[in-house]
Structure 1
Amino acid sequence: MSQPGMSQPGMSQPGMSQPGMSQPGMSQPGMSQPGMGQPGMGQPGMGQPMSQPGMVQPGAATTQPAMAQQAMAEPEQKKTPVFLIIGIIGGALAILGLVAFFVFGRGEGKDEGEEDEGAAVAAVGGLSLELTPPDATVKVDGTEHAGASPRVITGLTEGAHKLEISKDGFMPFTQDVTITGGQTLSLPMKLQSAAVTLTIKVEPATAAVTLVSGNTPTSVGTGQASYSHPLTRAAGTDYKLEATAEGYDKVSVPVVFTGDANQEVSLTLVKAGGAAAPTPEPAVAPTKKKAPAKKKAPAKAKTAELKIGTAPGNPPATVYVDGKKQSKKTPVFVKVAPGKHTVKWKWDGGGSDKQSVSVGDGESKLLKGAK
């Protein structure tokens, strides 16, 4: 019988344990409980580091020298190819830069130099002077340039230059010239003679003639129709001729020098309040009428023929008909006008023959010459 609160032998009561029985939360020797580990047994979650000779456990660090050296050498082996590639690329870029400099840089510099040189050449020109007299003194910008005529002056910069030409006995010449780069300016330069003889013709002849040099008057003469007046010109001085006569208006004419040693000037006065004095016309000698030229008779038609050869045993000869040489040697056939003609044979090396012949209209004659 079982009574509440009572326990009998062989019976299991809650909260009670008997020998040989396994109760929850209890462990007995020889039994493996979760979370527990016994020596020699590998339980999940349990592990003790073990080291046996010749064995390497995963995750364990070795201390052998060979393995340490291998671990240190691996980073260096990985770095060496990277630096080598960078060095090769850098060297290639440097070589390309040098090539570009020598090809493009030097080429551009050469072109610029050539352009500068061309500009320098284009900025320089020259003068070529045909001088009369040829031994005149020539100065450009005050610098004398000697030589013969034509006087060639080179190395003049582009732009304006002062040209001076002088010679004793001649009027000095001064002019500004413009030089164009790369060109030579050619100029004919004839100096005017300083000594001039003026031939002065005046109408009416009663007029008084005066030469005014600058502001200085010099009497030339009165009462003549023509005067010859020598003059030595002065540089920078203007000259004029004046003429006065009673009943006429005064006339004044500037003297324009031509450069010749002799020069003619005409003065014609005008009557006061009237027209100019008449100038007598020069007498003209009567001309004889020429007799009309005789008309030549028209040439006759060439209706006759001469057959010209050489006698047997004679070589070909050059033929002349009425003095005119024929284009080829015998035999020849020549058209002539009816009438009388002269035929001549001439042989190379000497010998000749001459005959006269008359032919009528439409007639043909045979002639043979012999040495």
Structure 2
Amino acid sequence: MFSERTISLVKATVPLLQSQGEAITSHFYRLMFTNHPEVKAFFNEAHQASGTQARALAGAVLAYAAHIDRLEALAGALPRIIQKHAALGVLPEHYPVVGRCLLQAIREVLGEVATDEILAAWAEAYQALADLLIAAEEEVYRANEQQPGGWRGQRRFRVARREAESELILSLYLEPEDGAALLAFTPGQYLTLVLDIDGETVRRNYSLSDAPGKPWYRISVKREEGGRVSNWLHAHAQAGTVLDVLPPCGDFVLKPVPAEGRPLVLVTGGVGITPAMSMLEAAAPTGRSIRFIHAARHGGVHAFRERVDALAAAHANVEALYVYDTPRDSDRPHATGFVTQELLAQALPADRDVDFYFLGPKPFMQAMYANGVTLGVPAQQIHYEFFGPLEDLKAAA
């Protein structure tokens, strides 16, 4: 794929990327947003402000450089990148912008070390990756467009109704304005909303929180303190509001049940419950053994409790367990405190042969990953969606 010289030059930059990678990617984002403000809509300001986006990109660039001679080692990471790009509507014309800004950032941060020869090698390496991603993303766009109810790009949906799920989480039921069919999705996938807020275009992903096959898409949005988009939706997305929506995407999905059967364990914290609700709604009627464990601060912010209780009452294969860390006097959780390793050990079968899904705030996910590994859940049966460098998730284990 690459010449030996290109591989040698790119791999030679690995030590520099280890020490300067985050400085390069932070500078890259500043350059790109200054020179190409039109691409800002594809990025979450909160992730930019916290630095997680720069750290995640630095890790990805380092991994690419370190494995430039054996890119098959990175194959597992590509589906998530492809799905994220397709969800946001990334197009071929965006890649040259990124490439120019990345090379400029490398030159300006590394200085004289970034020779013309090294930059040429990185330009070749970047273009090869860009070509791969462009082709793969086009496959996703084409598949979404050609399936029944499918579409490409933005489609207008009307808010049919809104329902409060807790003190913080609001569900919006979205129906296509054209009245045509809906594209099927896999539980765990998400939609991207394209909104105009104060004259600026923003894009946000929200998990689909209902089962497939309904005449609507349901998303459930937590009102985040200082959250520009979540607060706008809570305040302005009323019945009749029209929103621009991109097709369902995402690879954090409910996997097919193996022929021999396998219990399903869904462990969520806070708003991480939303994709798990879609998974639960779809799996409950199948008879598959399901443990649904949800952690919340207290009953006031616990979304979907009545619905989960109803599913457990209707399906003997579903067992729910709720953990509150600061319960109110009127609350009745099954346990107080946190989802500990001991609690999980009691919920898992002795052979640990389960499909273990978890989603929630970063500290929660770090703990669940460490617990799953320590308790012996097979690595290929641990499923999660995590924004940021995976090292941040796995450090606790």
TM over 0.5: no
- TM-score with structure 1 length normalisation? 0.14
Tell which has more relative contact order, 1 or 2 (C-alpha 8 A, sep 6+).
2
* Structure whose alpha-carbon radius of gyration is higher: 1
More strand by proportion, 1 or 2?
1
- TM-score with structure 2 length normalisation? 0.13
